[in-house]
Copies of this chain bind each other. A is one copy, B any other.
Amino acid sequence: MNYPNGRRGSKTNLAPKGKTKPDFSNRGMSLEEDINVTNEYYLQAGVAVVHKKPTPVQIVQVDYPKRSAAVIKEAYFKQASTTDFNGVYRGKYIDFEAKETKNKTSFPLSNVHQHQIDHMRAVQAHGGVSFMIIKFTPLDETYLLPSSAIFSFWEDQWNGGRKSIPYAYITNEGIKIPFHYQARVHYATAIDKLYF
């Protein structure tokens, strides 16, 4: 949890989630929850079909009690081999990972894993729309950043480059995602701008 000396933002922006802000954009829900709500709205409204992938779990032992549901008694979390969200929007394959950071001046690359980068590259190579949704929580700002804008930073960090993507770069190369009452992370509008 880094709170570096940011030059942006205000005390209002630093308010605890859902405590003092008068709008509906920050009611204590995580970015992932907000995207799930958005996806549910998109599905009902006929905008897109996008789902979060379930957390992969290695199941070791299951009990089958009489007259009640099977109970998993021993299981372990597995490493995911893809990103968290995928689906179809306006005929295109959509694939993304969502990350939030407490940072205000940059997005630390430690939030990203090699297998996610590999997956993003593969998706892009096959003509899919691949991006990350990055939320700067203290600023209450969320961006869609295309994967292609991430790859060079990812490689450079192993060659003496910086370990984070600057906020200014994200605001330039990404598209700000607006808040919408039902589509709390209304990323479809950002896809429209970047890919259509």
* Chain A residues packing against B (C-beta within 8 Å): 43, 46, 48-49, 51, 53-57, 59, 69-78, 81-82, 86-95, 119, 122-123, 125-128
> Known contacts A55-B57, A93-B87; is A74 also within 8 Å of B76 by CB?
no
Question: CA–CA, A43 to B94, complex, Å?
Answer: 17
> Known contacts A48-B126, A90-B126, A126-B91; is A77 also within 8 Å of B82 by CB?
no
* Closest partner residue, chain B, to A68 (CB atom): B76
Question: CA–CA, A171 to B147, complex, Å?
Answer: 41
**When the two chains form the complex, which single residue of B46, B72, B88, B126 contacts A72, counting CB atoms closer than 8 Å?**
B72
Contacts of A72 in B (CB 8 A): 57, 72, 74-77
> Known contacts A81-B51, A87-B93, A88-B126; is A69 also within 8 Å of B76 by CB?
yes
Question: CA–CA, A93 to B91, complex, Å?
Answer: 7
Interchain nearest-CB distance for A63 vs B (Å): 10
Those 5 A-B pairs whose CB atoms lie nearest each other, nearest first? A91-B127, A88-B93, A93-B93, A88-B128, A72-B75
Question: CA–CA, A92 to B129, complex, Å?
Answer: 10
Contacts of A123 in B (CB 8 A): 49, 88
Question: CA–CA, A57 to B74, complex, Å?
Answer: 12
> 30 A-B Cβ contacts within 8 A?
A43-B122, A48-B126, A49-B119, A49-B122, A49-B123, A49-B126, A51-B81, A51-B82, A53-B53, A53-B54, A54-B56, A54-B57, A54-B78, A57-B72, A69-B77, A71-B74, A71-B75, A72-B74, A72-B75, A73-B73, A73-B74, A75-B75, A88-B93, A88-B95, A88-B127, A89-B126, A91-B127, A91-B128, A92-B93, A93-B93
